[in-house]
Amino acid sequence: MLKKILSMMCLVLILTGCHKEYPGGYIPYINEMGPGEIECNSFYHYIRVRDGLNKSGLQRYDLITEKDQDIYAVSDPHKQEISSFYGDDNVVYFVVTTHEKGSDESSFYCYDLKSDTCENLLTSEEYLYVCMDSFANKVLLIAHTQDYYIENRILQEIDPSNVVRSSIGYHECIVRQVDANGTLIEISKEFNGSEFTYKVADATGVITALSDCGGEEAGLSDYFTIEGDKVIGIVQITKEGMYGIIPCNYIRGGELKKEVLVSLDYKTGESEILYDSKNNTIRIIGYSNGKAYLYKKDKVIRRNLSDGSEEEIYSLSYDGNGQLSFNWIGSKLIIFDEDNQQVVANIQT
């Protein structure tokens, strides 16, 4: 399962919420954008070990057998947690952080699914975070002073300035995408700013389709993809951010105005709104090839943007009360209860 590439600010904001209908609770959110083209049958997720910290264990959910497999449980669930992970069908990398008064220690592990072995690759007093660098197609370990690519369980030092990743903060968000030719596209938004802007090489401009959306307090998340000469993505129009931009997984129902699917031609600067939810009762949970995926009234809907026709592809009958996340693994959509830490739907789209 691919983990999103986020900034260090956003990485420490993985918070959970309340009720799936969110009257005063936190709304469902996208954890992995899609659908995509990868082939993987593994979805990794946190579990709570005994009465310990919320992320004190790690499991693998098999998309074929629909069963969970225990990967790792910390030895001291009151002081230790798994702070990040990235895995596929062969191996999973993860970081275990031990919290002590005045200092923390992070250990970076590799678990081999075929041999059922676990190896410690690095221990550091620095904060460590592992993810997939989707642009380089390599596993990336981020540290305070040195970043690494991981190949065959070997840590290779790299220059952090050569790593392309988005920067998601309280007061400014910059989403970065790279096209097939290596062109870097940046989309930016400042808290209380009136405009969403873009930058391609030395050219900058305003995304005019978003100029009148009322998004002064809104930010951006890594909900974008490149399709031809266009960057297409989901923008949440929020309000009442007390300390700045609200993280995507920490938005209450009353703080969300609506969501829009926007398209930017990064060569001409032209932009348009492909879909507007109009209110906060509909989630835009994915996009691919002219089709938007929506979540409304416990149903997953595929909408053809060319003619506006809609097709129901799944009806969720889950009665739990946890905050839901949407996780795309290739063409499969995993709906996960983040509070109760269980898969509630495995959908082939």
Does 144 reside within a domain?
yes
| Overall pTM surpassing 0.85 (yes/no) | yes
Helix (H) or strand (E) holding 104: strand 103-112
Does 151 reside within a domain?
yes
Helix (H) or strand (E) holding 11: helix 8-11
Q: What is the pLDDT of residue 13?
A: 33
Does 100 reside within a domain?
yes
Cα within 13 Å of Cα(22), Cβ side: 24
Q: What is the pLDDT of residue 130?
A: 97
Spell out the residues 6+ positions from residue 125 whose beta carbon is closer than 8 angstroms to its own.
Answer: 103, 104, 105, 106
Q: What is the pLDDT of residue 1?
A: 47
Is residue 266 classed as helix, strand or coil in its secondary structure? coil
Does 113 reside within a domain?
yes
Backbone angles phi, psi at 153, to 5 degrees: 70, 15
Q: What is the pLDDT of residue 161?
A: 82
* Domain CATH code at residue 67: 2.120.10.60
Number of neighbours of residue 183 by Cβ within 10 angstroms: 14
Cβ atoms of 338 and 41 within 8 Å: the answer is no
Does 188 reside within a domain?
no
State the Cα–Cα distance between residues 237 and 132, nearest whole angstrom. 28
Q: What is the pLDDT of residue 300?
A: 98
Does 337 reside within a domain?
no
Backbone angles phi, psi at 104, to 5 degrees: -120, 155
Cβ atoms of 284 and 294 within 8 Å: the answer is yes
Is residue 169 classed as helix, strand or coil in its secondary structure? coil
How many domains in the chain? 1
Nearest to 91 by CA among 44, 136, 156: 44
Does 90 reside within a domain?
yes
pLDDT in tens, the chain (349 residues): 433 333 333 433 333 333 334 434 899 999 999 999 999 999 999 999 988 888 999 999 999 999 999 999 999 999 999 999 999 999 999 999 999 888 899 999 999 999 999 999 999 999 999 999 988 999 999 998 899 999 989 999 998 888 898 999 999 999 999 999 999 999 999 999 999 999 999 999 999 999 989 999 999 999 999 999 999 999 999 998 878 999 999 999 899 999 999 999 999 999 999 999 999 999 999 999 999 999 999 999 999 999 999 999 999 998 888 999 999 999 999 999 999 999 999 999 9
State the Cα–Cα distance between residues 79 and 138, nearest whole angstrom. 30
Does 214 reside within a domain?
no
Domain holding 57, by residue range, is: 41-163
Burial 137-147 (b: 16+ CB within 10 A, else e): eebbbbbeeeb
State the Cα–Cα distance between residues 49 and 81, nearest whole angstrom. 10
